[in-house]
Structure 1
């Protein structure tokens, strides 16, 4: 969906960040230093910041409560909330059209490309001054770094894929929601049982807006495959598309069997991220694969009953099997002025990072969420390390209001599963190319998987070579 401004909600910006300093605008300028930013500290400035689209009223109020704190601490900064959700099919147009807010979020897969094309501000000088700048997980931090290691964008969330499941549908189908499927054969059997016993979709598959390729590749990782291989070559690494492979064929044949033999995948074969979450939240889907940290969205934007929620890890069954991992970066528009960039970093530090790195920020965020009956303490894969994450959970222990025991199948195993980053080159192009492949298998019983994958691999390799 295209981002749109929230009704002129002048949310005066939230609690303080460290010394500001912002990267110069696109075009190769040097990033601002903390000293440069200090000179801008008294300048009155207004910035637009991303707020998730479609939030329930209570979630909007929680956002505003945090904004009130920032306004009090930064009286020279005014924040205007702009509704925004990254969507692969529209993001490039929004970026080119200048309709994005000054602070916006993108998936890890977009980071390097935006940096190389200088389509976001180089805020690395200011990020380097943040007290936690050297504490990020190296793999996580790399998603927002330029080739020379400068941190242009801030990793604010990370995830490892998981299987979300509806506990109520499990019970209705006679399945034990405390013992979710642990193998892909068990996932298939549970999906068939749910469909037969409840009439709802046993297992839903995203297929559009780049999500079909994303989830298909997730299944491939879990079977031991990868979407790309990187090897040394001359002046730069050589990236090779690896799509026409046994693992991709196995994943597609698995989906084909569930669709055509079991009839357990429902009748919507154009799901994207938003519609899959909406239908899952509404109790129409028994299981689907997505990032393990999606609970907040399901509850606050899709009105899911918390009692019905369950999540477990992906079965890993092939040699070199791994969980596809990714995350979200906070970035600043290259069109922002130096003063706006400095204010934007303050916002990022306060709104996104304070709750992860300081007791004051963690408690304030938890209290603001709890006051509006929003989820507090839902387990996520940390952007730092597990010890840091566990410490923040201790800080807010008395305010956690989510059913932690229902996350246990995921949290008990995710830290022991090997995580692998998404395909490194032309990632979203790879996913987009695979969307129609997944759609074809789910809508045509006689789809030629070998031909589809062979053609897709050639297309992706061309895109990689052009990137």
Structure 2
């Protein structure tokens, strides 16, 4: 990428979700001057100019070290309903990221490049958390991507709306009953949504699963023989749906928008229209970079947990390579992934250079994540970059002080996105029909999910 304009020109029309030049191949190639042209994912549409400035600086650093590679940034945002179409159409970049939940399906369908030899040659295969690395391995142990970031679910809240409602922003709610109480106070005092939740584009099912786990339930169990059982109809999921019903229909504190997804709920929160919502702990970066949030309003706490076996849903994404690229482009892609994503997790010089570059471009440094490597390496990296950390970590202490005490729970492994889509309908029904029969909805959802799992 040579300028923000170049990235924008690489994007599709505004209606597209995942940015890639319309009609261009994702297979890389020769740039015309003997260099290998490599198209790499950058940011979602709407990212601020400073983000592109930081990327341009990093691109320049990489190309100086690799003068035979020409990096072209491509706007990119993963969304479940459109990703498969983009992948089948060959319009994705050469290097892009996908959620952990998609990796198994993609590698089983031969839609990811095998990078086993490359990961082993780089020498840090054994540094990965083995549970996370297993998510990008097939049954023969071949590796199909680089786990590059993980998160735990967090409760994001607006400190300014808390103060307007007479609440202490340094004392966020620690139970679901308190979340409901705080949401009502915020809504009554400000007229804004005290609490909101995603409900479309597979995000409704994602968040319902997160709420279920936080209440001690699970939506799927692994039978250990390659099959899985749907367990959607459980007390935790029922409590999560009843919570949404009560906020919407009894307290009138949910707000009027019931069709939000990851992008639109972030936009609404950044604009100051939502008091609280749940999402991955790493979303602060996008809130500032892509949605223009004022950092002073931001607060982050752990998701409340209750029940007999509560946990905190985790997730993350992996950097992958299109299976259509040639060997030269693949080699360039591995160099980029190692340099851009991985070395800052492993190497002090790389970590400092990355943090310094981002800091100088006013990009977020130090957003809370979970380590894809060891906790020790993660905490060491925070020490390396401490002079450049610029996120308001004091406003995130209710999360960073407590997250290690919560039990991490991975997302369901089988038919994940299809079942999330199925659960979207359940969430939407509860939010649009005051008399929705939650028991009947859960019984039908469990039956439908099992049918998907049995295919």
TM-score tier (shorter): over 0.9
- Contact conserved, 2:48 with 2:290, CA < 8 A, in 1? yes
Taking structure 2 as the reference length, the TM-score comes to 0.92
Q: Is the 8 A contact 1:6 1:80 kept in 2?
A: no
Instruction: Indicate conservation of the 8 Å contact 1:61/1:372, yes or no.
Output: yes
Which residue of structure 2 lines up, in the alignment, with residue 382 of structure 1? 371
Residue in structure 2 matched with residue 177 of structure 1 by the alignment: 169
Q: Does 1:82 align with 2:97?
A: no
User: In structure 1, what is the Cα distance between the partners aligned to 2:140 and 2:218?
Assistant: 26
Map of 1:306 onto structure 2 = 295
Distance 1:314 1:185 in 2: 12
> What's 1:269 paired with?
258
1:99 to 75, 91, 94: 91
Structure 2 residue matching 1:422: 3-state secondary structure:
coil
Partner of 1:2: 17
Confirm or deny: 8 A CA contact 2:218 2:234 kept in the other structure.
no
Give the distance between the partners of 1:6 and 1:337, measured in 2 at CA: 19
What is the CA deviation profile of residues 353-381 of structure 1, one whole-angstrom value per residue up to 9, with x for unaligned ones? Answer: 12111111111111111111111122221
In 2, Cα distance between equivalents of 1:322 and 1:4: 35
> Structure 1 runs of 4+ off > 2 angstroms?
1-7
Counterpart secondary structure, 2:151: strand
Q: Does structure 1 residue 155 correspond to structure 2 residue 170?
A: no
Counterpart secondary structure, 1:65? helix
3-state SS of the aligned residue for 2:121?
A: coil
Quick one: distance in 1 between partners of 2:20 and 2:447?
Answer: 40
1:44 Cα deviation after fit: 3.4
- The count of corresponding residues between Structure 1 and Structure 2 is 430
Deviation (angstroms), 1:437? 0.5
Contact 1:6 1:83 in 2 (8 A): no
Q: 1:454 aligns with which of 420, 443, 454?
A: 443
Contact 1:195 1:202 in 2 (8 A): yes
Aligned residue number for residue 112 of structure 2 = 120
Distance 1:158 1:118, change over 3 A: same
Contact 1:2–1:94 (Cα < 8 Å) also in 2: no
Q: CA deviation at 1:150?
A: 2.2
**Alignment RMSD:** 1.5
Q: Distance in 2 between matches of 1:225 and 1:311?
A: 23
The farther-off stretch of 194-203 and 392-401 is 392-401
Matches of 2:98 and 2:257 in 1, distance apart? 27
The equivalent residue for 1:423 is 412
Q: Is the 8 A contact 1:258 1:265 kept in 2?
A: yes
Give secondary structure in 2 for the equivalent of 1:327: strand
Partner Cα distance (1:238, 1:333) in 2 = 28
Asked if 1:204 is matched to 2:193, the reply is no
After TM superposition, the score normalised by the length of structure 1 is 0.90
Tell me the equivalent position of 1:322. 311
Match of 2:138 in 1: 146
* Alpha carbons 1:219, 1:251 under 8 Å: kept: yes
CA contact (8 A) 2:42 2:73 kept: yes
Ranges in structure 1 where 5+ consecutive residues have no aligned partner:
8-24, 26-42
Distance 2:369 2:235 in 1: 32
Q: Structure 2: how far apart are the matches of 1:238 and 1:431?
A: 18
CA separation in 2, counterparts of 1:346 and 1:392? 21
- 2:123 matched to which residue of 1? 131
Counterparts of 1:31-50 in structure 2 under 5 Å?
Answer: 44-50=35-41
Determine whether 1:243 maps to 2:258.
Answer: no
Following the alignment from structure 1 to structure 2, what is the Cα–Cα distance between the partners of residues 270 and 436? 11
Distance 2:302 2:164 in 1: 22
Higher mean C-alpha deviation, range 237-246 or range 431-440: 237-246
Displacement after TM superposition at 1:6 (Å): 7.2
Which sections of structure 2, spanning at least 5 residues, go unmatched? Answer: 1-15, 28-33
Q: 2:391 aligns with which of 402, 407, 428?
A: 402
Secondary structure in 2 matching 1:319: coil
Q: Is 1:366 aligned to 2:355, yes or no?
A: yes
